[in-house]
Structure 1
Amino acid sequence: MSTSKPNMTFSRRDFMRTSSLAGGGILIGFNLFTACKPEASPPVDLASLNYNDFNAFIKIADNGAVTIFSPNPEIGQGVKTSMPMLIAEELDVAWDKVLVEQGVLDTKNYTRQVAGGSQSIRFGWDPLRQTGATARQMLINAAASRWGVEPSECTTSEGVIKNASGETLTYGDVVKDAAGMEIPEKVKLKKRSEYKIIGKDTWNVDLDKIVTGQPLFGLDYKKEGMVIASVMRPPAFGQKLDSYDDAGAKEIPGVIDVIRFGDKIAVLAKDTWTAMKGKKALKASWKDDGTLESTSDHDRILTGLLDGKDFQTLRADGDIKKAFASADKVLERTYESPFLPHNCLEPMNFYADVTSDKIHLVGPIQTPERTAQEIAEKLDRSPEEIHLEMTRMGGGFGRRLYGDFAMEAAEISSKAGKPVKVVFSREDDMAAGIYRPAIKYRIKAAVKNGEVTGYHLKEAAVNSNMYGLIPNFFPAGAIENYQVDVAKHDSNITTGAWRAPYTNFLAFAEQSFFDELAEMMEVDKVQLRLDLLQKVKGTTDERIQYSPERMEEVIKTAVEKSGWGKQPDGVYQGFVNYYCHNSHVAEVANVEIEDGMPVVKKIICVVDCGIVVNPLGALNQIEGGVIDGVGHAMYGDFAFENGVPQSGNFDAYRLIRINEAPEVEVHLMENDHSPTGLGEPTLPPAGGAVANALKAATGKRLYKQPFTKYPELLIVPEKEIIG
């Protein structure tokens, strides 16, 4: 991983020209990512603009106030706070004097307005700091020119410029002068020891609005003349609309219209309740247009794929056949996980107003640019006609990477000739999901002369399309004969990314397997992992993505902080280490027996994600990821019967409850590495840590999720209960 660099060269093409504001002050444009387009130019007259009509600018007013427009979608991961913190740090302004505003989609100036993969801070780390530093240098140059001194003689602190004689000017005093200054080619970034904002606990910039119920989310959005649409969709995956009768719906007072689009029917009404009531009054018949699949079908099909030979090999080191043929011992295990819905707290919703002049879109979306392009193609319009505003999201977890709900709003608005907001009910949200795919993993290891000599990972998944996440993570590079094979079943059930895609279950499978492998080899479980990491050190294999040195450090820290192996009787521990989304994590679960059943009491989590921008935000992300991982491993289950989802609401779909959430103890490694992902990396290890702790407590090994679906494996015989 790269480390922070105090001196950076910053091209003019990476920093847009400043311009004077009619009302005073300047707008300083900046590129959020190195992929930003150089032709971007800031608006000239702030007085004539609505702030929502542009994004990606720093605004500095005559009074020294600073507004930073944040263009990336905010889904609760905190980028609306942490990304502006990077700019404010290098700009050298007081954080309590900064106002942060959400920007809109701007495909002319930017190419990566995405919330996904825990990559926002990682990608923005250098460009955002360069942005702030460049703006600061321009302000210094303006002050130095006014004083007739060299810029090198000037310093800044919290929006105030000072020269060697002790004279001071505020940023507001020189913003107009700075507008005409040359943009510096080279800027100096702060050393870590000089940070005043980065690394300090910072409250979420939207916190006051959230707790006081001010409009921030898509469901809050209202527009004069807007109607609400509730949509009836095929009840089963593999069905199409045959015919429908809308007479009952149209008789309900407040229902404005009923519109068919494709195989869906939209009921338009003046309010959400009426629209949903109208949808319930619809009568529709459906015809089978494909295979109606059930969970039992998927179980059989995926097992058949694992037993078959039709695989795509993603990585093959050495000769696994030879390794297994000459092995002293062989361990083979199969692990299974179900489909899972996303269940965001805020159900899917989106606003669209399609007119002959433009398409106005507003709502919670993780991929605004891709969604706008898809809508433009669907309606045969130019992308330049689309104006998309992003609201804060009440959860995303990958579901809002897919703009199907935004597409529905645009289609309905186009047909109705009205501004429309589509609103999903909870039942709509669960039945029309983009689910985590059902997956089975089969792992096989060969042991000879006390060494792991072969490792074969097979994946069989429904609609698998993210193979690139698997082959180069640990233990790749640590075992001479190593192979990863994948196979998939094409299904009409829609699947996609779910928080920490694929690794969310793979971590449980692999880390459970390593524990059992250590038991078979009669070696220490943690030491087995450390010994394997030694073999990766000094590798020249550029495919290896993780750092064995950094992984070793989080492992040793987790052992120390958790009191591994030193707990009193009645406390059972499970250990895991894992790498994903560019971060290294180790977790230890503490389980105790209560009333004959194991209870997860505590998770000790050690994370190396490089420099932590906002420790308070990081803590929230880590705790949330761990509890989410524990909850879904223990309780998450979702089934289909003839294409019909079998859970429609939380009465039938089990989430972790507040009294079941374990204590989470967090330890962040301190180093000078650039920041890496944090929204997802702590979820995957949690299931494995719990499974290994449950094995210690019950003596029984779990191979399927959710764990509570198999209570016979969790019950502890009374005679075995300690204490």
Structure 2
Amino acid sequence: MMHAPSSLSRRRFLRTGATGGALLIGMSSGGALAALEDAAQADFTPNAFIRIARDGSVTLTSKQPEIGQGIKTSLPMVIAEELDVDWNSVRIVQGDLNPTAYGGQGAGGSTSTPNNYENLRRLGAAARAMLVQAAAQGWGVAPGECTTEGGAVLHAASKRRIAYGALVDSAARLPVPDAASVTLKDPASFRLLGTRVGGVDNGAIVVGKPLFGIDVQLPGMLHAVYAKCPVFGGKPLKANLDAVRALPGVKDAFIIDGTANLNGLRPGVAIVATSTWAAIRARRALEVEWDEGVGATHSWAGFTAQAKQAAGKPGTGVMRSDGDVDKAMAGAARTVEAAYSYPFISHASMEPQNCTAWSRPDGSLELWAPTQNPGAGQALVTSTFGIAKERITMHIIRSGGGFGRRLSSDFIVEAVAIAQRLKTSAPVKLTWTREDDLQHDHYRPGGFHFLRGGVDAQGKAVAWHNHFVTFANRVERDGQSILQPGSGGNLSGDEFPGRWVENCKLEQTALECRVPMGPWRAPGSCVFAWVFHSFIDELAHAAGRDPLAFRLELLGDKEVMAGTGERGQPYAVARMRAVLQTAAEKAGWGKKTFARGQGQGIAFHFSHRGYVAQVAEVTVSKDGKVKVDRVVVATDIGPQIVNLSGAENQVEGSVIDGMSTLMFPALDIENGRIVQSNFHDYPLLRIGDAPGRIEMHFVKSGHPVTGLGEPALPPLAPAVCNAIFAATGKRVRELPLSKTDLSWS
């Protein structure tokens, strides 16, 4: 079981940091570090991340939330590489939320690696330099004559070797060098980075040890469930609370007024009991009269009708307007018009949302949360309840899947609201059911794209027009009521092929809704890639061009395409050409003969600093069943793969996740309610539907190292749909795939 630390005090110690000589506050966290606290007086702790004991054992702190992306393994590998220690001697512990010591601690947007790689290298190198200096002083030689290997300092001339553990006392007395002055390893000499290393928690996971938020157990802990109005934005008017309180195991039941924030503490009814099962069973007897509010008028059918009406009018916002699209369309040799749409979908992470909160009589608060963004969670608690950040201790617990869902913190403030209402100061664990998770998610927004495009007599794209109809919530900002599109529901004027097509218009219309929305893996890109690269394929077909040649011509020969506007960013065209050509070459593009019902499709996309291209090969049976036989992936995420095993896992996971989302999930909205409730009516990919082969090729470049949790997902859907067209002649313009009849004869 996962228990509270034996002592609730937190002793801080000051150490000179590894980032520009700044001070870092190393705060001991719960679990393993707390146990080390008193015994570690003589340990070598040059900063908040590294602890070396006299026996040579090395403890590294992982500061980022682990949500299955492998960051708890890969970032400590960066430190271990520069520190030059044997990975088998390293123990990893999870750090609590402490931005003063650790800096940013969020896990989202594939930012963990690029935001930390360089600093963690220097942190490890600084500690290594101190150990070398300590050994050199003891031997009476120059530090430059010494090298390191496997947790020891070596002096080749005298054939002397001393383990780091024996240097703890002398190294601890040395000043920590300025991080900017330390010498980093030549990547050619890396022994650890770039190799395959299994996840540090893998052994515990496969035997079912309690690592996740849902596993937290504390002495005297109570358990809670929280019922919210099935219509988003609704609130409880009254409930049969006395009857519920009388049920076995129930300690209390009460209404929480909540706030108007759809992504924060929504109103609801809490039930607190002696066990999760007692709370869930009592909830089945709960009867609530709800004020459903205006959201009860919403439906997917209604949204679809509104989108079609909006399509015939100018967009309410113009993101890009280059040249004269109408004139170019009139003069084009061939034109194409198409409407693409996709539904709201859920994150459906394996572990439903949960949080354990302990509100104490002195006003302090301790939290155990499987969160992707502990800082934002802490901030939402502060703004909702007025608890100072300094009074909140946040333990970051491993998450059973995130995909962006745990960037939100609604489940955290719900747990806090319940804990504060308890008549006794006891920790309480809030656990959502699977139905809660599907019906009260912060969803990937649905969308509608109404496209027009034209090619000239030479088959070159000369016109592109996209009217994007998206979804937005009404929020109050700076005293004004505005419509704010959901995460990933806002079109940038620089979205490809904006900047590339001479006559290009990108416009957007937002439909107001009460559906809470949030980031979903590769926000925006996860659907934009499917729309844009499917329609590019349509233009290539209309032009009678090879899809690869058409794309290469569209990309052009520039090295970099400059960004434009407020949200614009440079686009490394050369990197994209390289991965596109690599994927095509490795897949044998244009060199294979496919029978009727079989085909090959290609797509690429720039997402979250990563450049990725994919080729998919499919077989479609005459009755329309699709089997993806092979996916070839080429990625450029910089010069160094940190953990090859983790990188392969991320690419394979992205392809499978992208395939699942393409084929199955869709949420229906009727009378303001999500219709689907569990996996029986919200299916995900089973192993029999997974691609037969996934091949990965990492194209190294001289650009900064970046992450891989998101970039490899967006190109999968268009590559597969373009392959389906090659196999059957049928275009997929609506998601999920089951909406399209793909049968052929």
Q: Would you say same fold, with TM above 0.5?
A: yes
User: What is the deviation of 1:45?
Assistant: 13
> What are the Cα deviations for residues 612-637 of structure 1, in whole angstroms up to 9, with x where unaligned?
11111111111111111111111111
**Which residue in 1 is equivalent to 2:737?**
707
User: What is the deviation of 1:141?
Assistant: 1.1
Distance 1:47 1:567, change over 3 A: closer
Distance 1:52 1:615, change over 3 A: same
| Kept after mapping to 2: 8 A contact 1:478/1:536 | no
User: What is the deviation of 1:307?
Assistant: 2.7
| Kept after mapping to 2: 8 A contact 1:612/1:618 | yes
User: What is the deviation of 1:369?
Assistant: 0.7
Which blocks of at least 5 consecutive residues in structure 1 are unaligned? 1-25, 718-723
**Which residue in 2 is equivalent to 1:552?**
577
**Which residue in 2 is equivalent to 1:480?**
502
**Which residue in 2 is equivalent to 1:265?**
269
Asked if 1:154 corresponds to 2:146, the answer is yes
User: What is the deviation of 1:696?
Assistant: 1.4
Structure 2 Cα separation of the partners of residues 682 and 44 of structure 1: 36
User: What is the deviation of 1:166?
Assistant: 1.8
**Which residue in 2 is equivalent to 1:429?**
437
Q: Tell me, what secondary structure is at the counterpart of 1:488?
A: strand
The letter of the residue matching 1:637 is A
**Which residue in 1 is equivalent to 2:336?**
331
1:343 to 348, 353, 357: 348
**Which residue in 2 is equivalent to 1:441?**
449
Asked if 1:177 corresponds to 2:170, the answer is yes
Distance 1:468 1:340, change over 3 A: closer
| Kept after mapping to 1: 8 A contact 2:231/2:295 | no
| Kept after mapping to 2: 8 A contact 1:138/1:183 | yes
Counterparts of residues 271-670 of structure 1 (less than 5 Å): 271-292=275-296, 293-357=298-362, 358-416=364-422, 417=424, 418-450=426-458, 451-463=460-472, 464-465=485-486, 466=488, 470-537=492-559, 539-541=561-563, 543-570=568-595, 571-594=598-621, 596-597=623-624, 598-610=626-638, 611-663=640-692, 664-670=694-700
Q: Tell me, what secondary structure is at the counterpart of 2:506?
A: strand
Q: Tell me, what secondary structure is at the counterpart of 1:50?
A: helix
Asked if 1:686 corresponds to 2:679, the answer is no
| Kept after mapping to 2: 8 A contact 1:473/1:545 | no
> What are the Cα deviations for residues 303-360 of structure 1, in whole angstroms up to 9, with x where unaligned?
3333322432333344434433543333222210000011000000000001133100
The letter of the residue matching 1:391 is I
Distance 1:268 1:544, change over 3 A: closer
Structure 2 Cα separation of the partners of residues 310 and 207 of structure 1: 50
The letter of the residue matching 2:517 is T
Structure 2 Cα separation of the partners of residues 488 and 388 of structure 1: 37
| Kept after mapping to 1: 8 A contact 2:16/2:23 | no
Q: Tell me, what secondary structure is at the counterpart of 1:42?
A: strand
Structure 2 Cα separation of the partners of residues 575 and 139 of structure 1: 51
Moved more, 276-285 or 666-675: 666-675
Structure 1 Cα separation of the partners of residues 28 and 355 of structure 2: 31
Q: Tell me, what secondary structure is at the counterpart of 2:677?
A: coil
Asked if 1:40 corresponds to 2:28, the answer is no
| Kept after mapping to 1: 8 A contact 2:51/2:60 | yes
Distance 1:27 1:151, change over 3 A: farther
| Kept after mapping to 2: 8 A contact 1:444/1:457 | yes
User: What is the deviation of 1:396?
Assistant: 0.4
> What are the Cα deviations for residues 490-525 of structure 1, in whole angstroms up to 9, with x where unaligned?
211101111111111111111111111011111111
| Kept after mapping to 2: 8 A contact 1:27/1:59 | no
The letter of the residue matching 1:419 is P
Q: Tell me, what secondary structure is at the counterpart of 2:75?
A: helix
The letter of the residue matching 1:425 is T
Structure 2 Cα separation of the partners of residues 44 and 100 of structure 1: 13
> What are the Cα deviations for residues 59-113 of structure 1, in whole angstroms up to 9, with x where unaligned?
0111111110011101001110000000100111111111111100003334411
Q: Tell me, what secondary structure is at the counterpart of 1:299?
A: helix
**Which residue in 2 is equivalent to 1:19?**
none
Distance 1:403 1:586, change over 3 A: same
Distance 1:52 1:304, change over 3 A: farther
| Kept after mapping to 2: 8 A contact 1:575/1:692 | yes
| Kept after mapping to 1: 8 A contact 2:561/2:571 | no
**Which residue in 1 is equivalent to 2:198?**
203
Structure 1 Cα separation of the partners of residues 51 and 457 of structure 2: 67
Moved more, 366-375 or 483-492: 483-492
**Which residue in 1 is equivalent to 2:480?**
none
Q: Tell me, what secondary structure is at the counterpart of 1:422?
A: strand
| Kept after mapping to 2: 8 A contact 1:343/1:429 | yes
> What are the Cα deviations for residues 362-382 of structure 1, in whole angstroms up to 9, with x where unaligned?
020011011111112222211
Q: TM-score, length-normalised on structure 2?
A: 0.88
1:106 to 98, 101, 117: 98
Structure 1 Cα separation of the partners of residues 671 and 31 of structure 2: 59
User: What is the deviation of 1:535?
Assistant: 4.5
User: What is the deviation of 1:120?
Assistant: 0.6
Structure 2 Cα separation of the partners of residues 49 and 576 of structure 1: 47
Counterparts of residues 55-134 of structure 1 (less than 5 Å): 56-134=48-126
> What are the Cα deviations for residues 460-496 of structure 1, in whole angstroms up to 9, with x where unaligned?
1112244677433432332223332222122111011
| Kept after mapping to 2: 8 A contact 1:56/1:70 | no
Distance 1:29 1:283, change over 3 A: farther
Structure 1 Cα separation of the partners of residues 69 and 144 of structure 2: 38
Asked if 1:165 corresponds to 2:141, the answer is no
Structure 2 Cα separation of the partners of residues 530 and 544 of structure 1: 20
| Kept after mapping to 2: 8 A contact 1:627/1:661 | yes
Distance 1:541 1:652, change over 3 A: closer
Q: Tell me, what secondary structure is at the counterpart of 1:68?
A: strand
| Kept after mapping to 2: 8 A contact 1:30/1:58 | no
Which blocks of at least 5 consecutive residues in structure 2 are unaligned? 1-12, 38-44, 258-266, 473-484
Q: TM-score, length-normalised on structure 1?
A: 0.91
Structure 1 Cα separation of the partners of residues 27 and 443 of structure 2: 42
User: What is the deviation of 1:227?
Assistant: 0.6
| Kept after mapping to 1: 8 A contact 2:621/2:743 | no
Distance 1:617 1:29, change over 3 A: farther
Structure 1 Cα separation of the partners of residues 218 and 53 of structure 2: 30
**Which residue in 1 is equivalent to 2:213?**
218
| Kept after mapping to 2: 8 A contact 1:478/1:535 | no
The letter of the residue matching 2:743 is I
Q: Tell me, what secondary structure is at the counterpart of 1:41?
A: strand
Alignment RMSD, CA only?
2.4
Structure 2 Cα separation of the partners of residues 507 and 496 of structure 1: 18
Structure 2 Cα separation of the partners of residues 232 and 128 of structure 1: 43
| Kept after mapping to 2: 8 A contact 1:473/1:579 | no
> What are the Cα deviations for residues 617-664 of structure 1, in whole angstroms up to 9, with x where unaligned?
111111111111111111111111011111001111121111111122
Aligned residues: 687
The letter of the residue matching 1:441 is H
Q: Tell me, what secondary structure is at the counterpart of 1:190?
A: coil
Structure 2 Cα separation of the partners of residues 622 and 27 of structure 1: 40
Moved more, 40-49 or 526-535: 40-49
The letter of the residue matching 1:313 is V
Moved more, 233-242 or 524-533: 233-242
Q: Tell me, what secondary structure is at the counterpart of 2:549?
A: helix
